[in-house]
Chains A and B, each alone.
Chain A
Amino acid sequence: MLTLYHAPRSRSSSIVWLLEELGEPYRIEITPIVYGNGQGQSAPETYRRIHPHKKVPAIDHDGTIVFECAAIALYLADSFPKARLAPAIGDRRRGAYVTWLAYWAGVMNPVVAARFRGWDNDSPTGFGDFDEMENFMAQTLARHPYIVGDSFTAADVLVGGAIGFFSGTLLPKREVYDGYLERLAARPARQRAMARDDG
């Protein structure tokens, strides 16, 4: 059994999309969280067994708990290879695939948060340089239609999700982003996920 601990309109919404791409049966466990605007309340203390900081997303797959979006993406795509959401180990695209998932978590996320909060008004933060990151993303998408190459992978769920969220606000307007976001929005799994976001 596959369970997603999820809060509507949060970071776990990407994982609803990923699960729809995966095509395996799953259930959604709506989980209370404190949102960025201070709304909401935190999950009961018993939820710490699933997530150490009582956040979402987390998954439970037959008793195996996985948290952190990048880890969930890696875990699910490798566990269900039929969905072809990840280059297999040994495939030459595997390097870029694991790198983009780690880059999303370790660079994109904090660099975007820093820009959003204005921490980098005077100089880049230790998280990384926003323009350097943004240029690199745009250059990569100018070379191929998806972030890892010619085909869609689980990395597009996270990277594309972030680009979609900040397109036209924190991110400059670019044709490569528009085309990429159109390709992602046309995916039936993405549309099903949006309909299921409220649980």
Chain B
Amino acid sequence: MQATTEAQMIALYHHPKTRSSRFIFLLEELEAPYTIQQVSVRSADGTGSVDPANPHPHGKVPAIADDGVVVWESPAIALYLTDKFAKNGIGPLVGDARRGSYLSWLAYYGGVLEPAFMSKFQNTPVPRGTAGWVPVEEAMEFVIGTLSASPYLLGEKFSAADVLYATTFGMFGASPMMPKSPAIESYVKRCLERPAYGRAQAKDNG
């Protein structure tokens, strides 16, 4: 068997306990060859600084590099990786009946859910029409409705969309921003019980 060369490895630009942690989880699910490049980031509290080794244009994490091809923004990284490492079926491919739903949930994460939580956090309104997102209560009602009807966002099967949502809900946990919901609690437990998540946690500090 041929050894994996560095050029064939996905480089994950990572900072412990941030939004990049979830991509260790996804890379473990995909059984993809990867290396973790730990970088410093500028934190919201003003500590830390942008790392020149990080290819992200704003010095944030996560970002990945695939033989020089740089990808950032969580939904983009998730889609790029599941399209490239298709064998574990974590992301429906082009032509799969669930592809539309998969893309919708990925885009909804970046375009609606994250801004909705941020609006709530910084206490700014969400004007309908101006904002492409909705108040977090409305977004969570949709998510909870979906997860009350099926174990995962796309139905019966776990996908990379669940990596984004379950880790977000797991991180917010008991935050007052999160509505109390048995459907969400059991969803987070179901996703984070996966062996890949355990392996990822063990690697989070590099």
A interface vs B, CB < 8 Å? 11, 33-38, 52-53, 61, 64-71, 74-75, 78-79, 89-90, 92, 94-96, 98-99, 101-103, 105-107, 109-110, 113-114, 116-117, 119, 125-129, 132, 136
Question: Which of B84, B104, B114, B142 sits near A53, CB closer than 8 Å?
Answer: B142
Partner-binding segment picked from B30-38, B122-130, B177-185, B188-196: B122-130
Structural contact, B71 and A99, CB atoms closer than 8 A: yes
| Chain A residues closer than 8 Å to B100, beta-carbon distance | 61, 64-66, 71, 75
A190 to B6, CA, bound (A): 44
Residue of B71, B104, B121 most packed against chain A (CB within 10 A): B104
A106 to B72, CA, bound (A): 11
Question: Which of B80, B94, B131 sits near A113, CB closer than 8 Å?
Answer: B131
CB of B62 to closest CB in A, whole Å: 12
CB of B38 to closest CB in A, whole Å: 21
| Chain B residues closer than 8 Å to A65, beta-carbon distance | 100-101, 104
| Chain A residues closer than 8 Å to B114, beta-carbon distance | 106
Assuming A66-B100, A68-B112, is B129 touching A125 (CB within 8 A)?
no
Apart from A89-B84, A102-B74, A106-B75, list 4 A-B contacts with CB within 8 A.
Answer: A33-B129, A38-B129, A110-B115, A110-B118
A181 to B49, CA, bound (A): 36
Structural contact, A106 and B111, CB atoms closer than 8 A: yes
Question: Which of A98, A109, A129 sits near B111, CB closer than 8 Å?
Answer: A109
Q: Does B39 reach chain A (CB closer than 8 Å)?
A: no
Structural contact, A110 and B142, CB atoms closer than 8 A: no
Q: Does B108 reach chain A (CB closer than 8 Å)?
A: yes
Assuming A11-B132, A68-B107, A105-B110, is B73 touching A89 (CB within 8 A)?
no
Structural contact, B130 and A126, CB atoms closer than 8 A: no
| Chain B residues closer than 8 Å to A67, beta-carbon distance | 104, 108
B interface vs A, CB < 8 Å? 44, 57-58, 66, 68-76, 79-80, 83-84, 94-95, 97, 99-101, 103-104, 106-108, 110-112, 114-115, 118, 121-122, 124, 127-134, 138, 142
Structural contact, B131 and A110, CB atoms closer than 8 A: yes
Residue of A nearest to B133 (CB): A110
A92 to B65, CA, bound (A): 11
Residue of B nearest to A48 (CB): B142
Question: Which of B79, B99, B131, B142 sits near A98, CB closer than 8 Å?
Answer: B79
Residue of A nearest to B96 (CB): A64
Q: List 13 A-B contacts (CB under 8 A).
A: A36-B129, A38-B129, A64-B100, A65-B101, A66-B100, A79-B95, A96-B71, A101-B76, A102-B74, A103-B76, A110-B132, A113-B132, A128-B58
| Chain B residues closer than 8 Å to A102, beta-carbon distance | 73-76, 106-107, 110
Question: Which of B57, B111, B122 sits near A105, CB closer than 8 Å?
Answer: B111
Structural contact, B110 and A89, CB atoms closer than 8 A: no
Structural contact, A89 and B94, CB atoms closer than 8 A: yes
A79 to B72, CA, bound (A): 23
CB of A116 to closest CB in B, whole Å: 6
Structural contact, B118 and A78, CB atoms closer than 8 A: no
A130 to B111, CA, bound (A): 17
A119 to B133, CA, bound (A): 16
A90 to B108, CA, bound (A): 24
Residue of B nearest to A136 (CB): B57
Question: Which of A68, A92, A117 sits near B130, CB closer than 8 Å?
Answer: A117
A90 to B69, CA, bound (A): 11
| Chain B residues closer than 8 Å to A106, beta-carbon distance | 73-75, 110-111, 114-115
| Chain A residues closer than 8 Å to B66, beta-carbon distance | 95
